[in-house]
Amino acid sequence: MSPRDAFGRPQQVLLLGGHSDIGLAIVRRMIDDGAHRVILAGRDPEREPRPELDAELDRRYFDAVDTSSHAKFFEAVFEDHPGIDLAIVAFGVLRDQPEVELDPAVAVEMAEVNFVGAASAVLHTAGYFRRRGGGDIVLLSSVAGETPRRSNFAYGASKSGIDFLTRGLASSLEGTDVHVMVVRPGFVRTAMTRGLEARPFAVSPETVARAVTDGLARRDRVVWVPSILRWVMAALRLLPSRLVNRLERS
């Protein structure tokens, strides 16, 4: 079973994407709820999070694109910290759509990080939790993966792929003590989106973090942030693509 406390709250958290604004906001809420150990994994492991985290920290180098190194990475992390009960897959890249259309390599980079690397991370983690007997996995997806839009279809495609795979994994783990949750934020005000024009229903990383902790408590499979986006995106899927493009330009 997952080594949670008496109230079912995570005690040890693995953050893949160790400097994700959203990931760190989630971790801070977990620490406030009693988590005492955090493993920060990313390509710049020595960089200090700001503000600092009030927990025991272990910093690890993790390269999402180098999937050949993932088996060894996860084996070492879970051997050193067998009590990890929550893994957050929060890494990702966002490139301007004009760049994508001028250079296909940009789209490939996003696919390698956002889909291939994330798929490897999710599946490795799920394998460990299944063998151990329980644990939670949170994947940060995006509403961009819900319907193709001319302004970000390459990014959306990479998020759609990992969203689909993770929801399939959640179904395959039904009946076990491994819980998998997909989080679909809209526009979040982070370092990654700095300089971009904010979209309607923009939120902060802290708002996403609250939605994640609430979703974990309910054992949700999919969480929308804000929740109204569930209905907005459902409506957009019913509209002709020409009308969706016209709405984006307005």
Distance, CA of 247 to CA of 250 (rounded, Å):
5
Give the C-alpha distances (Å, rounded to integers) separating 201 from 138, 155, 248: 22, 19, 14
pLDDT of the residue at 187: 86
pLDDT of the residue at 48: 78
Q: Which helix (H) or strand (E) holds 56?
A: strand 56-61
- pTM for the model stands at 0.90
Do 199 and 156 meet the contact criterion of CB atoms below 8 Å apart? no
DSSP state of 19: T
pLDDT of the residue at 6: 45
Residues with catalytic roles: 155
Cβ-in-10-Å burial (0-12, 13-18, 19+) of 122 comes to buried
The backbone region for 158, taken as left when phi is positive above 0, alpha when psi lies in -120 to 50, beta otherwise, is alpha
Residue type, 223: V
Q: What is the pLDDT along the chain (250 residues), one digit of tens a residue?
A: 455 554 568 999 999 999 999 999 999 999 999 999 999 999 988 887 877 899 999 999 999 999 999 999 999 999 999 999 999 999 999 998 889 889 999 999 999 999 999 999 999 999 999 999 999 999 999 998 887 777 788 999 999 999 999 999 999 999 999 999 999 998 888 877 776 666 777 899 999 999 999 999 999 999 999 999 888 877 777 666 666 555 555 4
Assigned fold of 12-249: Rossmann fold (3.40.50)
Q: Of 226, 245, 227, 225, which is closest to residue 236 (Cα–Cα)?
A: 245
Q: How many helices (H) and strands (E) does the chain have?
A: 9, 7
β-strand partners of 185: 225
pLDDT of the residue at 162: 98
Radius of gyration of the chain (CA): 18
Give the C-alpha distances (Å, rounded to integers) separating 196 from 117, 217, 231: 25, 33, 24
pLDDT of the residue at 121: 98
Domain ranges of the chain: 12-249
Distance, CA of 191 to CA of 21 (rounded, Å):
7
pLDDT of the residue at 230: 86
Length of the chain: 250
pLDDT of the residue at 35: 94
